[in-house]
Structure 1
Amino acid sequence: MRILHIITGLAAGGAEQQLRLLLRNMPAEYHCEVVTLENPGAVAEGIRQDGTPVTHLAMRGNRDIAALFKLTKFIRRGRFDIVHTHLYRSCVYGRLAARLAGIPTIVATEHSLLKDTIEGRSTTAGVRLLYTATERLGTCTVAVSSAVSDCLGNWGVPSRRIRQIANGIDAAAFATTPDEHAKSRREVRARLRIPADSFVIGGVGRLVPGKRFDVLVDALAAMPDVLPDGRVPWLLLVGAGQQLDALTRQAHDAQLAHRTLFLGERDDVSQLLTAMDVLAAPSIVETFGLSLLEGLAAGLPLVYTSGPSLAELPPHQTGHAYYSPSDGRSFASRLCTVAADCAPPLAPPPVVGMYDISQVADELTSLYTDLAARR
């Protein structure tokens, strides 16, 4: 079976990393290719290194109609059995191009839809109208969580066209023995020039308003300069985005620049997690929470505000995952408690195993087979 995945861009983000991980776990009989409409970033190179072809369409913007015909031609020439789209722009253009190319089965995964936002941006009546109109051109829309599924229903997508398949993680990629963890921790901290005895608060994700990383700068400012056990708090943020300058100014104005590191887009997140004492996620608009699961898989305690992957589970399944309101003082209080009570590496809680990527790949291939049989 020949499958074409279309995605808006391939910079380091949750949907992009999820696609790469999914491709790694597809059965050999599924031949996959990827088209990125724009921004073939670090994830594109990683997918190529994994052995999956990636084509950059070089789309010039939302109104680049020529890209639609270029994409249609590419799909038709590739004789794909299924087209699978990811993220808003690729869903709009990809579904239409696939229909024009005569593809019988068109699947979309909705990664980032909430009540009034999509991919962290506010929705307008026009965005909603275009999304729902082109959704009808597809065969099925996959929702990564019940929150996304509910939003699709509220937008008018019939329940018979929605299939819920959660995101997944490769837990083994984050697991370390205590000795391996300690060695990596020393090496990464030394490389980043973080004092070995610091208390490192980590954040992973795009530096965009919806992630609320400004809350972590406020939390660092609200914490004692030195914790009762003598450790000095640091903030380590991994990710790139439009808020980098604002966050840098915020840290400078709070006189915290010497204890705040912005590492940008990285492909060694599993190693960087070993340098952290806690993973902090103050976002209030998460549609799933992949980074939360990765932190737990790496043996870190977690302080978070929103995460559908955790929210409906009892505490014994989520382990050292602690809720906090998304404000600086609340996060500071919770982080101080974690500093006193939790020392990584911790045993990954049961929730990590519940979202194994191999299970997700099995569910998706079953969906492909089911949809193809209906043709």
Structure 2
Amino acid sequence: MKRALHIITGLGVGGAERQLRSLIARLPVESEVVTLTNPGAVARELRADGVRVTHLGMAGNRDVGALPRLARLIRRGRYDVVHTHLYRACVYGRVAARLAGVRAVVATEHSLGERVMEGRPLTRGTRELYLATERLGRATVAVSGTVAGRLREWGVPAERIHVVPNGIAARRFRYAGGARAAERARLGVPPDAVLVGGVGRLVPGKGFADLVRAVAGLPGNVRLVLGGEGPLRGELERLAAGCGIGDRVLLPGECEVPALLSAMDVFVSASTEETFGLATLEALAAGLPVLHVTCPAIDELPRQAAPGARRVRGGADALRAALRTEVERAPCRFPVPEAVHHYDIGRVAGRLMDVYEGAQSR
């Protein structure tokens, strides 16, 4: 196998997008990327890595004119494997690959929740379209056992489902005191402040509104930083102002996640429906104490694999109670736990190559 094409819905900063960049750096094949929309920060990073990125310029979910353009691109590239990521790219990419004559099609399901997919409510039509196009591929990758179970419930045959979790390059997130001081200075966080943080797209499913309300009930030396962009930004700013903590809530937008984690004292994943929990693993790799409402990456391992992580109930009141316990302790860093090593990105890339080879051999 020599050439792989990755098709993804967009390349803004998000878990699936960052995971794609990490994987490409470790896959032993020549990889190219097509983004249907939004060639954002991750597209720039991939190009800096030397990866060819093509923006298809898709106008919306019903822009069927993008389909023949994508099929022509696949046909010209003579790829051995086409790998799709995220719902829209999976639907269009599988059809286009079949039109182009490529049979070795693999799709990774990153964001299938119980009630939502990629932040949007699941409908019967969404599921039926997904299942109809799923049959055009040869393998569907689930990023966790939780997602694999949901795919089986939908009706995807078990023999087509392969669990290949997200991976992490732990060294990239290693804590450094110098980076902590520099990032806190950049954010304007006083040295004696306790900085609570979260990372992810600013969308309702991430629970960031509950986190703002939780911090509003904590002492004035507690600050909150939420790294990421999204449609909820303005609403979160108004909520913070209405709670009287507008000056204590920081929304720096798209940023360097390792630097941001170094500045934090406590990491919180307030999402009530995660499919993996990559940001939580990154926080553990940075040595942070972690509170999470749900995180399959941790929940599917023995409890002792992540001693610095604590599962808590969702909602502002429960988050506030859990955070109060954390902020009253002296800030500390934990050793990198076994959970992080379990999801080493090199090991994950090897498992994905096994899926590629199986898809080619069928």
Q: TM-score range by the shorter chain?
A: over 0.9
Runs of 5+ consecutive residues of structure 1 not aligned to the other structure: 226-231
Local SS of the residue matching 1:263 = strand
> Is residue 101 from structure 1 mapped to residue 89 from structure 2 by the alignment?
no
Give the Cα separation in 1 of the matches to 2:232 and 2:167: 27
Pairing partner for 2:203 from 208, 211, 222? 208
Look up the match of 1:228: none
Alignment deviations for residues 232-275 of structure 1 (CA, whole Å, 9 cap, x no partner): 10001100011111110000001101111001112x11011111
Give the Cα separation in 2 of the matches to 1:344 and 1:102: 55
Q: Is the 2:139–2:355 contact (alpha carbons within 8 Å) kept by the matching residues of 1? A: no
Look up the match of 2:342: 354
> Is residue 12 from structure 1 mapped to residue 9 from structure 2 by the alignment?
no
Give the Cα separation in 2 of the matches to 1:115 and 1:191: 39
Look up the match of 2:262: 274
Look up the match of 1:234: 223
> Is residue 224 from structure 1 mapped to residue 224 from structure 2 by the alignment?
no
Look up the match of 1:252: 241
Q: Is the 1:203–1:237 contact (alpha carbons within 8 Å) kept by the matching residues of 2? A: yes
Moved over 3 A (4+): none
> For 1:32-181, what aligned pairs fall within 5 Å after superposition?
32-176=31-175, 181=176
Give the Cα separation in 2 of the matches to 1:9 and 1:364: 21
Give the Cα separation in 2 of the matches to 1:263 and 1:151: 34
1:342, distance to aligned residue in structure 2 (A): 5.6
What is the letter of the counterpart of residue 183 of structure 1?
Answer: G
Give the Cα separation in 2 of the matches to 1:342 and 1:335: 13
Give the Cα separation in 2 of the matches to 1:312 and 1:20: 25
1:341, distance to aligned residue in structure 2 (A): 3.5
Alignment deviations for residues 86-110 of structure 1 (CA, whole Å, 9 cap, x no partner): 0000000000000000002010000
Tell me how large the CA RMSD over aligned residues is: 1.0
Q: Is the 2:86–2:111 contact (alpha carbons within 8 Å) kept by the matching residues of 1? A: yes
1:116, distance to aligned residue in structure 2 (A): 2.2
Q: Is the 1:239–1:265 contact (alpha carbons within 8 Å) kept by the matching residues of 2? A: yes
> Is residue 289 from structure 1 mapped to residue 289 from structure 2 by the alignment?
no
Give the Cα separation in 2 of the matches to 1:104 and 1:124: 28
Give the Cα separation in 1 of the matches to 2:31 and 2:183: 35
Look up the match of 2:250: 261
Identity %: 49
Deviates more, 1:76-85 or 1:113-122: 113-122
Look up the match of 1:367: 355
Alignment deviations for residues 118-150 of structure 1 (CA, whole Å, 9 cap, x no partner): 112111111111100000111110000111101
What is the letter of the counterpart of residue 359 of structure 1?
Answer: R
Give the Cα separation in 1 of the matches to 2:129 and 2:192: 53
Q: Is the 2:6–2:82 contact (alpha carbons within 8 Å) kept by the matching residues of 1? A: yes
Give the Cα separation in 2 of the matches to 1:337 and 1:301: 12
Give the Cα separation in 2 of the matches to 1:239 and 1:78: 34
What is the letter of the counterpart of residue 298 of structure 2?
Answer: L
Runs of 5+ consecutive residues of structure 2 not aligned to the other structure: none
Give the Cα separation in 1 of the matches to 2:329 and 2:305: 19
